[in-house]
Amino acid sequence: MTDSLRGKRVFITGSLQGIGLGIATVFARHGVDLVLHGLGDAALIASAEAKVTRAGAGRVESHNTDLRDSTATEDLVAKLLAGGPIDILVNNAGIQHTATLSEMPREKWNDIIAVNLSSYFDTMRLILPQMAASGFGRVINIASVHGLVGSAAKGPYVAAKHGVVGLTKVAALEYANVGSRDSGGVTVNAICPGWVETSLIEPQIQVRVDKFNGDRLAGIADLLSEKEPSRRMSSPDEIGELALWLCSKAAHNITGTAIPVDGGWTAQ
Ligand code: NAD
């Protein structure tokens, strides 16, 4: 099924590390051209490019723009589309800050909404029309369990992720009847992970590691025991495998969904 992805061009925001790089690496194994993106220095870019090239990617390019700046995003997408169509868009960039509503700095609200929600709106509004013109396109929005349920001390993050799930449904409906089974159609879906071990959640892990006098495994077990019944974290590659399947032609009728990968968290 994935041979049909060879040579397709995949743009993944926030893909120099973490889940985004995991997704990029899984796609690279199927010979796609990759547009990597994120905040980072030359060394981080070089190491991400080397990883996906080793995995089998075709053409690889990297861009370092701040998604809080919608004009910069417009410029980036114009530049990308001038170089050829984008077949698959993965909106993945995200940030976190934990504090109660009364303690949450106002600028954290602005930043989290801008990166975790508004940037997904920007890339979709700019790229979906071109996908429609070709009859094939896939948008995967990396939301979170926090797009489906709340947790204390994560106000802006939960608001942004619920926004992503809603925006995913609207975009899916607007493009649902584009193309055919043969062309693959244009679909828009959200993936909603529970805990995935990346630098995004490191501050939350560190609080628990400290509670258990430096025992990392005990700290992680304590964190997961609260909400994730499987008590197992997902890996970035596993999120990539689901994204890859959603990009197959067989998934042409799966659109507007929000798929949990959360060890039963949202089943409770
Ligand atoms: P990460 O911190 O490892 O990666 C985040 C990426 O976003 C980085 O590449 C970073 O450069 C990029 N980014 C951040 N701010 C940016 C900005 N202003 N402009 C451009 N790029 C920016 O985190 P991760 O865990 O890999 O998170 C990826 C996505 O997965 C996020 O949307 C996150 O909310 C979501 N998610 C993560 C978990 C988890 O447990 N790690 C769980 C559910 C959902």
Domain count across the chain: 2
CATH of residue 98? 3.40.50.720
> What is the residue range of 53's domain?
2-196+234-267
The confidence score (pLDDT) of residue 204 equals 94
Residue 92 beta carbon below 6 angstroms from any ligand 1 atom: yes
CA–centroid distance, 241 to ligand 1, in Å, is: 18
Take atom 12 of ligand 1 and give the residue whose Cα is closest: 14
For residues 67 and 129, state if they share a domain. yes
- Calculate the CA 20 to chain-centre distance: 6
Say if pTM beats, i.e. exceeds, 0.85.
yes
For residue 39, the ligand 1 atom closest to its alpha carbon is: 11
- Going across the sheet that includes 136-142, the strands are 60-63, 33-37, 9-12, 88-91, 136-142, 185-193, 258-261
Question: What are the φ/ψ torsions at residue 100 (nearest 5 degrees)?
Answer: -70, 165
Q: How far is CA 37 from CA 7, 85, 176, 259, in A?
A: 19, 17, 28, 24
Neighbours of 245 (CB within 10 A): 13
Lookup result for tokens 């975009």: 171
Please state, in angstroms and rounded to a whole number, the distance separating the CA atoms of residues 162 and 264.
18
CA–centroid distance, 265 to ligand 1, in Å, is: 20
Residue 262: exposure state from Cβ atoms within 10 A (0-12, 13-18, ≥19):
buried
Query: Best substitution site from 92, 113, 145, 220 to test ligand 1's pocket, by max atoms within 8 Å of Cβ?
Result: 92
Residue 67 beta carbon below 6 angstroms from any ligand 1 atom: yes
Question: What are the φ/ψ torsions at residue 7 (nearest 5 degrees)?
Answer: 85, -5
Residue 196 beta carbon below 6 angstroms from any ligand 1 atom: yes
The confidence score (pLDDT) of residue 4 equals 81
Tokens of 40: 């980072």
For residues 65 and 126, state if they share a domain. yes
For residues 174 and 217, state if they share a domain. no
- Give pLDDT < 70 ranges for the chain: 1-3
